[in-house]
């Protein structure tokens, strides 16, 4: 068991899920509710995100390998480009206000908070890459760990937000996306180098 690669993949998925970035929206949709409702919303978000990642990872891998004959190197290059684009866009964009009138907190916790705000295309591609690199049970464990971290972050969102504030949460999110951009570049380069190695 390669602990270094396991830790690396766990950090990579954490960087793209980026739970801190979801704190302002989570606090907004739960601001008029008691702690029990907020805890339930955090659980809904974490479980929804985990279910989406596991479903895409298990079934997506079979489809890629059996139907489209896509290799790990193909996925590294394509996934790296997607992650790089997401990172750059997320670093330079400005967040607008979210409109969510007439929608329940439970629904908002699943969509758009769990998907696509926290678990979106980048997270799905990253999970597919992890399932290609790791045994399925290790990859599932990595997703479970990140879901637990997401749940804990949202459960503690109020005190975290009081400490770091709105500016701090935005800065942390941008730093995570810069880290993700570096990881994306490495994915692309390792995929390209592997192709040249076969030539």
Question: What pLDDT does residue 33 have?
Answer: 87
The helix (run of H) or strand (run of E) holding residue 72 is: helix 72-92
Closest C-alpha among 105, 150, 97 to residue 123: 150
Question: What pLDDT does residue 100 have?
Answer: 55
What is the value of pTM for the model shown?
0.78
Q: Tally the domains of the chain.
A: 1
Give every residue of the chain whose pLDDT is below 70, as ranges: 94-102, 198-199
For 54, the 3-state DSSP assignment is helix
Question: What pLDDT does residue 199 have?
Answer: 55
Taking the C-alpha atoms of residue 73 and residue 129, their distance in angstroms, rounded to an integer, is 10
For residue 141, give its domain range: 3-198
**And the tokens for 46?**
């974490």
* No. of helices (H) and no. of strands (E), the chain: 8, 0
**List of residues 6+ apart from 156 with CB closer than 8 A:** none
Give per-residue pLDDT as tens, 141-183.
Answer: 999 999 999 999 999 999 998 898 888 888 887 888 888 788 8
């Amino acid at each position: 068991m390669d602990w270094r690669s396991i830790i690396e993949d766990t950090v990579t998925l954490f960087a793209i899920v980026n739970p801190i970035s979801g704190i302002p929206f989570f606090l907004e949709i739960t601001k008029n509710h008691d702690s029990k409702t907020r805890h339930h919303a955090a659980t809904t978000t974490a479980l929804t995100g985990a279910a989406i990642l596991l479903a895409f990872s298990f079934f997506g891998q079979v489809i890629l390998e059996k139907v489209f004959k896509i290799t790990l190197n193909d996925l590294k290059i394509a996934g790296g480009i997607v992650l790089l684009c997401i990172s750059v866009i997320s670093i330079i964009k400005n967040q607008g206000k979210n409109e969510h009138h007439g929608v329940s907190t439970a629904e908002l916790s699943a969509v758009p908070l769990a998907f696509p705000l926290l678990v979106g295309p980048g997270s799905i591609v990253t999970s597919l890459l992890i399932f290609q690199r790791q045994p399925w049970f290790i990859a599932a464990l990595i997703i479970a760990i990140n879901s637990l971290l997401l749940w804990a972050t949202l459960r503690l969102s109020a005190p975290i937000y009081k400490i770091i504030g709105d500016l701090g949460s935005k800065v942390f999110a941008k730093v995570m996306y810069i880290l993700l951009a570096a990881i994306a570049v490495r994915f692309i380069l390792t995929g390209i180098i592997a192709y040249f190695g076969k030539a």
